[in-house]
Amino acid sequence: MVAIGQRVFIYTIKDEGLVANSFLDLNFYVTQICPLRSIALCVDMFESVHLLRYQKDFKVLSRVATDDRKIHPRPHRVGFVVNNQNVAIVMGDMEKNLLVFEHDPESPDSKSSQRLLVKGGIRNGITVTNFLRVHAHVSDSMVSRRQKTYYAHSTMFTTKEGSWGFVRSVPERSYRRLFMLQNFIENQFQQNGGLNARGCRSVRPQATGTETNFTNAKQLIDGDLLMQFFGLDIHDKDELSRRLGTTKYQITDDLIELTRIVRHF
């Protein structure tokens, strides 16, 4: 798959050469293509991300859905987040946000499956330069492995500042525990330099220019913030676990499992 200006081509190998098999004319300038099997993501220079589909039997390349927000920063890089049979889209923009989109044709907000729905977001404060999907890291640990956890891929990202990190999905039950833990740490513990942990991680801008917004979207969990749990004393861990309706051992298991599957080095 190759993009030249506003046109996208599909090439196949034939007679020891590349032959154009299909093409699609778009009304925007393509800056990045991210393919995955029969689908692909195209990044617009000024607008946002678009989802394309290739039908091999008919040799047809078509645009399926797009992010139609009217108020948004310029997109920078895009990638996929894979969790077993489920696939989501992650995008980094020029306002240093990380946004997660999904294509849900059955949702009434999808405009007959023509809109990509915002499912989550966080402002990580750094500009993403690239995404790379890697398999979950498997290693020995004191915690027994949860097989379903390893079906999900980790999406590694790099930044202009030279740092790197991971984006990955977690089970719904673990997400609720970790999200409550993050809220408790944000409200009860003072951060370095008096940083407003909640405000600095809010997506900017909040307005989208459409009926959809970030109010109902799930916030991405900051793993670095959650790791402050290990710095608490035993009394604070017990008190925190009691308020969350769980045990400190369960929270520790969640954090160790999350750390183990994303650390490849």
Contact 98, 126 (CB under 8 A): no
Is 52 in the same domain as 134?
no
The Cα angle at residue 86 between residues 56 and 168, in degrees rounded to 5: 125
Is 52 in the same domain as 81?
no
- Hey, how many other C-beta atoms are within 10 angstroms of the C-beta on 80? 18
End position of a domain, from candidates 23, 49, 66: 66
Is 190 in the same domain as 159?
yes
Task: Give residue 197's domain range.
Answer: 69-262
CA neighbor of 232 nearest in space, from 197, 168, 199, 189? 189
End position of a domain, from candidates 19, 41, 66: 66
Is 142 in the same domain as 248?
yes
pLDDT of res. 51: 96
194: left (phi over 0), alpha (psi -120 to 50) or beta: left
Contact 11, 20 (CB under 8 A): yes
> Which residues, 6 or more positions from 105, have their beta carbon under 8 angstroms from its beta carbon?
112, 113
> Which residues, 6 or more positions from 41, have their beta carbon under 8 angstroms from its beta carbon?
32, 33, 34, 35, 49, 50, 51, 52, 78, 79, 80, 89
Contact 130, 77 (CB under 8 A): yes
pLDDT of res. 114: 92
- Coil, helix or strand for 225? helix
pLDDT of res. 61: 94
Is 25 in the same domain as 85?
no
pLDDT of res. 148: 56
Contact 247, 150 (CB under 8 A): no
CA neighbor of 37 nearest in space, from 64, 19, 55? 55
User: What tens-digit pLDDT sequence spans the chain (265 residues)?
Assistant: 999 989 999 999 888 889 999 999 998 999 999 999 899 999 998 888 999 999 989 999 999 999 988 888 899 999 999 988 889 999 999 999 999 999 999 988 888 889 999 888 899 889 999 999 988 776 555 545 555 555 678 899 999 989 999 998 888 888 888 999 998 888 887 777 777 888 888 888 877 777 666 665 667 899 989 999 998 889 889 988 998 889 999 999 889 888 887 776 6
16 token code pair? 């020891």
End position of a domain, from candidates 30, 51, 66: 66
Is 49 in the same domain as 85?
no
Is 138 in the same domain as 13?
no
**Bridge partners (DSSP) listed for residue 25:** 7
Is 83 in the same domain as 178?
yes
Is 115 in the same domain as 59?
no
Place of tokens 């790099």: 158
The count of domains in the chain is 2
Is 160 in the same domain as 216?
yes
pLDDT of res. 40: 96
pLDDT of res. 98: 93
Its pTM stands at: 0.86
Is 8 in the same domain as 62?
yes
Is 223 in the same domain as 104?
yes
pLDDT of res. 150: 57
Give the neighbor-by-neighbor strand order of the sheet with 86-93: 75-83, 86-93, 97-102, 117-123, 218-219
